[in-house]
Structure formats: C-alpha cells, structure tokens
C-alpha cells in the first residue's frame, strides 16, 4: 500500500490535467472547472514535477501536449471512465448480476432469444436484459455492457472485443421451390427471378448484387420485393414470396424445421461477420465477463 501511495501523483492534480489535456487549453479548463487559470497551471506544474517529465509545451500563451502528455492523458481518461461507469452503476443501485446486451433485431430474434434458456441453465445467476435495435450502436443513448452488430456498422469509440463468423446463401420455402416443378434451377437464373431484398440505411448488409457478383453474375436492375426489416423479409420468404439471402445464424433453425430450404449449394463465408463490443472503456463485471465467455463458446465455429 505504501508503494502504491508513493507511486500515485497528487490526485488533486489529475482532474485539472485531464481537462487541460482534453481541451488543450488552460483557460478553457479553468472555465469548465470554475477555477482560475493560475490554479490550473499550478496543478499541472505540480504534476509535471512529480512525474519528472513535461506534459505540455507552452508557446505564445498556447499549450500543446507532448508525447508523454498524450500517453498520460489517455491513461488518466481510461481510469476516469472506469470510475465514472462504476459510480453510475452504484448510484442506480444496479444489480451486479444484470447484464445489458444490445443486439441487432435479427440476431436478437433468431439466435440470441432461442439460446437464452441455455445460458440461464448454465449461469442461473446472470440476468440478461436483451435490447433489440435496428440502429448502429453509435445511436444507442442508454449504456450497455455488451453489444453485437454487423462488423461493417459504425461503432464509434466502443471497444471491439472479438468477432464471430457467419455465412450467406440463398434460401426459399419448400413450397416456392416446388412451384418450379421439374425445372432445374441454376444460380444464374436468380438474375431473372423475383428476389426478396433487405434494404438498410446505410446499406451495411450484403445485397443480392454483392453476393451474385462473387459468382460472376450481374443482377442489373433489382426485381422483386423490398423490406426495411430482415425478420419481416424472412417471414415473406417462409410464406413463399421468393428467394432471400439468408445468414446462417438467423436461418439455421428454419432450415432444420423445414420452413426453409437451400436451393443452391453456393455459400459465402464471412470470417468477421459480427463484432462483439463493450461500452467504450468501461470495466466489465463478473456477470458480463461470464456472458462473453458463453457467447464465445456457444457461437464460435
């Protein structure tokens, strides 16, 4: 403990330093903290003397972070974010066994929700609050512990922990496939058949045009029906409206039950299709870490 105390800089200097480093201005830091500029300068100078290194260069009434200053700023900010995150949980009286999991609507609907009972059987102490979303996690205002979304979507300053693979292939209902009778379908025929399209804004999902081009097939003007919801599109597919691009993680149960079939053998493997994030630089509690391990073991190939 004595060594720990001796290694710590004056704690009263860290808040002024963080503000000055973030704003790169002693005057703006003084306004934010309601201190005089001289007080900010004094605290920063005391910190530099303790560390034995210059954190700022001072030129013409302006200040600029040195390389050491940038590194120390990031360290201090990470520590402050962790403290703030824990303090927020304590103020709310949040149960440490609760984990907020944000997932895209399709992942939440098709493969997380059906597997939650298995999680509860293995870890009955974990309470998962599953929030389904159609927006990138950059649009999530409420704090989460863990989030899962397509890797191509915006993630801002949230921390990516690991990725999960997936694959994409055409699917349709058995009834729709039977409507072609004895006609043998080739993959190239899809360019002239009604297709079901999932339209996202921004378009960070693979489209029919993207997928078919991998096999040298040009789609031209898209034909068929368009949906802004992947689950709704898949229900239309089950109902026999046409061919859809199915993601393995969201279609495997429907394939197993016979609601859908794969009319073609071709499939595109995406080794980093999905990304798993934590909230910025927050420290994860034991329950969240257990959930992460369960995700890795349950959904890894």
Flag whether pLDDT at 94 surpasses 60.
no
Phi, psi of 136 (to 5 degrees): -60, 160
> What tokens appear for 40 in the block?
């900010």
According to DSSP, the β-strands at 56-59 and 62-65 are antiparallel
The CATH homologous superfamily for domain 166-272 is Periplasmic binding protein-like II (3.40.190.10)
| CA 1 from centroid of its chain's CA atoms | 38
Q: Find out whether 104 and 135 touch, Cβ atoms under 8 Å.
A: no
Q: Do domains 98-163+273-299 and 166-272 have the same CATH topology?
A: yes
Where are the domains positioned within the chain? 2-92, 98-163+273-299, 166-272
The predicted model scores a pTM of: 0.66
**pLDDT confidence bin for 31, thresholds 50/70/90:** very high
Average pLDDT, the chain: 89
pLDDT score for 91: 61
Of residues 146 and 92, the one with the higher pLDDT is 146
Flag whether pLDDT at 60 surpasses 90.
no
pLDDT score for 82: 78
Highest mean pLDDT among 102-106, 167-171, 191-195, 277-281: 167-171
Flag whether pLDDT at 55 surpasses 90.
yes
pLDDT score for 200: 77
What sign results for the dihedral spanned by CA atoms 166, 179, 221, 259? negative
In the predicted model, what is the mean pLDDT of residues 137-156? Answer: 89
The CATH class that applies to domain 2-92 reads mainly alpha
Of residues 223 and 131, the one with the higher pLDDT is 131
In the predicted model, what is the mean pLDDT of residues 278-289? Answer: 87
pLDDT score for 139: 86
Lowest mean pLDDT among 62-66, 83-87, 138-142, 276-280: 83-87
pLDDT score for 263: 95
The CATH class that applies to domain 98-163+273-299 reads alpha beta
pLDDT score for 90: 65
**pLDDT confidence bin for 1, thresholds 50/70/90:** very low
pLDDT score for 29: 93
For 22, other C-beta atoms within 10 Å of its C-beta total: 15
């Amino acid at each position: 403990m004595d060594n720990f105390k001796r290694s710590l800089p004056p704690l009263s200097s860290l808040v002024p330093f963080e503000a000055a480093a973030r704003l790169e201005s002693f005057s703006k830091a003084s306004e934010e903290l309601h201190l005089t500029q001289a007080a900010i300068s004094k605290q920063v100078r005391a910190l530099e003397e303790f560390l034995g290194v210059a954190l700022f260069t001072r030129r013409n009434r302006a200040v600029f972070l040195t390389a050491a200053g940038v590194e120390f700023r990031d360290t201090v900010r990470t520590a402050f974010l962790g403290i703030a995150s824990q303090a927020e949980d304590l103020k709310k009286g949040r149960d440490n066994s609760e984990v907020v999991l944000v997932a895209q609507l399709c992942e939440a609907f098709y493969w997380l929700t059906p597997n939650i009972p298995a999680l509860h059987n293995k870890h009955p102490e974990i309470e998962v609050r599953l929030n389904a979303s159609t927006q990138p996690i950059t649009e999530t205002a409420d704090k989460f512990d863990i989030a899962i979304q397509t890797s191509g979507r915006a993630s801002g300053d949230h921390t990516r922990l690991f990725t999960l693979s997936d694959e994409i292939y055409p699917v349709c209902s058995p009834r729709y496939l039977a409507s072609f009778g004895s006609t043998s379908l080739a993959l190239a025929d899809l360019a002239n058949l009604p297709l079901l399209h999932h339209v996202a804004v921004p378009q960070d999902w693979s489209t029919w045009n993207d997928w078919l081009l991998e096999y040298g097939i040009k789609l031209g003007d898209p034909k068929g029906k368009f949906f802004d919801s992947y689950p709704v599109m898949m229900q239309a597919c089950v109902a026999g409206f046409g061919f859809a691009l199915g993601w393995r993680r969201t279609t495997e149960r429907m394939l197993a039950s016979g609601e859908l079939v794969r009319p073609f053998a071709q499939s595109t493997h995406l080794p980093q299709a999905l990304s798993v994030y934590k909230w910025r630089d927050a420290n994860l509690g034991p329950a969240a870490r257990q959930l992460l391990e369960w995700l890795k073991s349950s959904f890894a190939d």
